A and B are shown apart, each in its own frame.
Chain A
Amino acid sequence: MKHVAKWALNTAAQRGASYADVRVVVQRSRALTTKNGKVGSASDAESVGMSVRVIADGAWGFAASAEFGRSAVEATATEAVAIARASAQVKREDIRLAPEKPAVAEWSTPYKIDPFAVSVEQNIELLLKIDAELRSVAGITLAEENLNFNREEQWFVSSEGADIHQTKLSTGAGYAAYAFAGNEIQKRSYPNSFGGQWQNKGYELIEELKLLENARRIAEEAVALHKADQCPEGTFDIILDSSQLGLQIHESVGHPIELDRVLGMEANFAGTSFLTLDKLRHLRYGSDLVNVVADARQEHGPGLGTFAFDDEGVAAQCTPIITNGLFTGYLSSRETAHTIGADRSGGTLRAEGWNRLPMIRMTNISILPGEKPLSMEQLIASTDQAILMQTNRSWSIDDKRYNFQFGCEIGWEIKGGKRVRMLKNPSYSGITTEFWNSLDAICSRDEWTLWGTPNCGKGQPQQVMGTGHGAAPARFRGIKVGSAFKT
């Protein structure tokens, strides 16, 4: 593949590009779903192509093609330069890239079992067993299960001398049980909603998730929700399970710290951010217990935001985002680093595939667990009155990332340190910084899970990206609950 990159780099240079990088990408995916005792879909897909990103006349150009013949590659590079010159027609200042020592490296996701080597029969058998277990519970009207495997191999070569070959592997699995009765549809999901749990791992993830072992409980909860009381409306202390807290981090920390949003580059679609540049190292984002990092390194764990190099050749890093409650860092790129006085990119530029422009994306945006030992049961036991909410059902936040509202699949009233009753349709809402400042307890490492969000949308044309979010259950004081159902 390197010869393809070389043709493109040479052409870009001949056409006058002052900088160029080439990504050649081979993506392979397998998606298997079952529903109510039958296979829903079974599909394999591959996509292979290359892209050329250039700076010419001080502006960006990008072109992508699935053709690998020399003339086609040279035409793609030529087109990228022509596009850059068109960009320069509407330009205020030249692009500035933070310096980066060109890396020459090989890396691949560590894994134990290649998921593509596991037979389709075995996978379908597992899904159908889960399906049967879910539907063995009276009252379940719909059961859905999924397994997903992805492999992406990329060669990144730049005009500065970078030469990086990287292979990422990810696995995802989950299921949902629905119960329709009367005028109500209730749902429970495992291990998380909207596709389950995803990590940069091999098939060993499937074995770790204990999917079948949890199916009956999940189905029984979906049915039981019909008889549960409606979650009350008012101001309450709440406890969020780690998967819901992971999504809370994604929406109310991960997106607002994207420096391209802050700088207005996403204003037309995804929006901007309340985290204007003056707030860096001045804003009290959360309570003293809130410590959040953006960590793409393997040592953080097998998150969907784990890699060795980003898609402009910058090595994976750990950036402190919130430190003892103080806002301390953004997600940055080579183009944007100078705007926060940084002399190097934070290494967060990623693209959905060969035909998409890399952009600032969350890596693994994780809240660190509490340092003092605290299990979920101990947290509940130490809580006089609160509502515990588990597993996301709906999520929404404004375009500056202030006002949010989340719904969860199931709630539990906590009284006197015990779960006393199940609650249906729990929801909560608030303002980002007020919410994080109300955190007064977070569980310790044993309760911490690195969740995967496989479906984060951003950009025009929109790109879908996987992000990681480590979280442990946490308690928040005085939160607005139930206004989603206020009529």
Chain B
Amino acid sequence: MLDKGQAGDIFDRIRKLASADEVEVLFSGGKFALTRFANNTIHQNVAEENHVVSVRTVFGGRTARATTNKFDEESLKQVVRASENLAKVQHPDPDLLPMPNSEEASGKVGESARSTQVHSTSAPFTPAPSRHFAQTAAITPEIRAEGVCAMVGVADRHKLTTAGVFSSAESFEGIFNSRGLSRWHTQTAAEISITMMAPDSSGWQKANSPDVAKLDPLQLAETAAKKAVDSAHPREIAAGKYTVILEPAAVLDIVGFMFWDYSGMAILDQRSFLTGRIGKKLFGENITIHDDVAHPLQTGAPFDGEGMRRQKVALVENGIVKQVVYARATAERMKRSEFKDSVGPIAATGHGFPLPNEMGEMPLNIVFAPVGNPQTLAEMIASTEHGVLVTRLWYIREVEPFEKILTGMTRDGTFLVENGRVVGGMRNFRFNESLIHMLSNVETMSLPVRSSGEESFDMVAPAMKVREFNFTQVTKF
């Protein structure tokens, strides 16, 4: 796998090949392998290795990018030429900033008049823990097959059919620029997702971590199997407003749809539901959300698409929307905009996408703060007179962008809760629910945990018990 030293040599070669005023090179790639099973057998089993080099050049305020996965001299020449040819025919962008140097990117005071300064009230820098684990990097197809075999054994014992994945990866990402900046990050990842199916019911679990030792295939399989067994012969109950207990995967999959809007660019574009709402109480008192790449349960590189250090940002505190995140150029634009007095702190936060792009930035390391009186899932169920326990949500889409009404389905383990206990499975519901309404009606929460779904990115999120969740239809199973 490419290391930082090799990448630095390649950057030097690219820099010599380029005639541009400024040059930035992103590196990414690594090894990825995934064993997929269904019908209690391994049916797909893949591995790949790929390295990508992406060159951005700048000529007098004009910039463009070209990308290749070939590293020979001729290919590097071509990718530089492609980037420069594209850049030269752009219109100058008055908002384009000089590339950051190491000092600016690390969060220290910017050196040029046009450089942005870090937010003066940002949290002290906490380095992210190592996210590379040798045991994860050493996972073989045989080890994955043994894990799958154990999970299939659980299915066989319960007379269920199972499907899922066991994947492993070792990856890198890095950035170098002609102002001397260089950043490098390596990490490993392992993931298990499992569905257990009975004739008319199913159950699901998913977990991932940079450290495979933190995954327990048997426990995931047993939990999914119990859900499938317990939700057998689902009853059809009319749609309507219910108290729901959303497991963490369901919480993250639905709330993930709002974080695209926690972006300075989204405010400038007037496509954010936070337009005119920053500084106001939008959610319940018990909702506090940070973006924090250094959190021990988070993953990912501690720098953004320009190499800027990702800072911890308070997005929501006690229900009040505090601020959004910014790439460098977005922050400068915001300071000159009509919105500058109504959006809270304005400063580059290290959340920008690689340039050039039209989306700006977004927070990707979401961490819900624990509440003072967390409840376990069992306690939430015990305190519910009449409600619905939801394992997982599916096919969530935005119906209305400003009230943030989302639609989607429950899936793989939807249960009726009556008089403090789970009494059986239910046919799956379609919901049409406003995220603002939902996060204003959270009665209790569990402690946040690292969670993974399929509709949004991974987060550190709690289970939530929510009043008046709006189910509008019932499906056939």
Residues of A bordering B, CB below 8 Å? 33, 35-36, 38-49, 51, 59-67, 79-80, 82-84, 86-93, 119-121, 124, 128, 141-142, 144, 178, 180, 183-185, 263-269, 271, 274, 355-357, 359, 393-400, 402-403, 405, 407, 425, 427, 429, 431, 460-461, 483-487
Contact = CB atoms under 8 A, between A and B. Distances in A.
Interface string B384-423: 0000000000111111111101011101100000000000
Contacts of B89: 119-121, 124
Nearest to A40: B358
Given A41-B358, A65-B49, A90 B41 contact: yes
A97 to B, nearest CB: 14
B145 A62 contact: no
A222 to B, nearest CB: 13
B90 A39 contact: yes
Given A89-B145, A395-B397, A396-B407, A429 B430 contact: yes
B37 to A, nearest CB: 6
Interface in B134-172: 140-142, 144-146, 148-149, 152, 161, 163-165, 167
Interface in B47-67: 47-52, 54, 64-67
Contacts of A460: 34, 36, 44, 165, 167, 193
A426 to B, nearest CB: 11
B475 A403 contact: yes
A484 B358 contact: no
A36 B271 CA distance: 13
A247 B211 CA distance: 41
B45 interface: yes
B145 A43 contact: no
Nearest to A186: B401
B270 interface: yes
Interface of A is mostly: mixed
A120 B86 contact: yes
B318 interface: no
Given A41-B65, A84-B45, 13 more contacts: A44-B83, A47-B68, A86-B35, A87-B43, A87-B145, A89-B142, A93-B41, A120-B86, A141-B269, A396-B430, A398-B475, A461-B34, A484-B472
B129 interface: no
A90 B42 contact: yes
Contacts of A49: 50, 69
A35 B358 contact: yes
A2 B186 CA distance: 35
Given A39-B90, A396-B396, A357 B356 contact: no
- Residue of A61, A90, A267 with most partner-chain B CB within 10 A: A90
Contact of B65 (A42, A265, A267, A486): A42
A402 B42 contact: no
A80 to B, nearest CB: 8
B106 interface: no
Q: Please classify the interface of chain B as helix (H, G, I), strand (E, B), loop, or mixed, using the class held by over half of its residues.
A: strand
Given A48-B69, A485-B400, A86 B145 contact: yes
A43 B401 CA distance: 29
A358 to B, nearest CB: 10
B408 to A, nearest CB: 6
Contacts of A265: 38-39, 43-44, 163
B45 A42 contact: no
Interface residues of B, number: 94
Nearest to A400: B477
Contacts of B52: 47
B394 A398 contact: yes
A346 B124 CA distance: 60
A174 B271 CA distance: 18
Interface in B169-197: 193-195, 197
A33 B358 CA distance: 8
Contacts of B446: none
A41 B142 CA distance: 43
Given A87-B35, A90-B145, A40 B48 contact: no
B67 A82 contact: no
A400 B476 contact: yes
Query: Which of A42, A268, A402 is packed against the most chain B CB atoms within 10 Å?
Result: A268
Q: Which 6 A/B pairs are nearest by Cβ-Cβ distance?
A: A40-B358, A86-B141, A403-B475, A267-B163, A180-B270, A64-B48
A92 B428 contact: no
Interface in B352-377: 356-358
A399 B69 contact: no
B223 interface: no
A405 B470 CA distance: 15
A44 B66 contact: yes
B405 A485 contact: yes
B95 to A, nearest CB: 8
A65 B48 contact: yes
B91 interface: yes
Contacts of B477: 398, 400, 402
A395 B399 CA distance: 8
A289 to B, nearest CB: 24
A242 to B, nearest CB: 21
Interface in B422-477: 428, 430, 432, 454, 470, 472-477
A99 B470 CA distance: 51
B38 A267 contact: yes
A459 to B, nearest CB: 8
A86 B142 CA distance: 5
Nearest to B95: A38
Contacts of A355: 48, 50
Given A142-B271, A144-B358, A486-B472, A264 B405 contact: no
Nearest to B72: A68
B115 interface: no
Considering residues A83, A91, A393, which has the most beta carbons from chain B within 10 angstroms of its beta carbon? A83
10 contacts: A41-B357, A44-B64, A83-B45, A178-B270, A263-B38, A267-B202, A394-B407, A398-B395, A398-B428, A400-B475
A323 to B, nearest CB: 24
Contact of A402 (B86, B144, B475): B475
Contacts of A51: 48
A66 B49 contact: yes
Contact of B44 (A47, A178, A357, A427): A357
B194 A90 contact: no
Contacts of B18: none
B46 interface: yes
A61 B45 contact: yes
Given A44-B86, A87-B145, A399-B394, A62 B70 contact: no
Contacts of B195: 267-268
A90 B155 CA distance: 13
B275 interface: yes
A264 B39 contact: yes
Given A86-B141, A120-B89, A403-B475, A178 B46 contact: no
A394 B408 CA distance: 11
A363 to B, nearest CB: 21
A63 B46 contact: yes
B148 A431 contact: no
A38 B356 CA distance: 11
Nearest to A405: B407
B38 A396 contact: no
Nearest to B474: A403
A183 B403 contact: yes
B116 to A, nearest CB: 19
Contact of B66 (A43, A142, A486): A43
A399 B144 contact: no
Contacts of A396: 395-397, 407-409, 430
Nearest to A355: B48
A475 B261 CA distance: 37
B171 to A, nearest CB: 13
B42 A43 contact: no
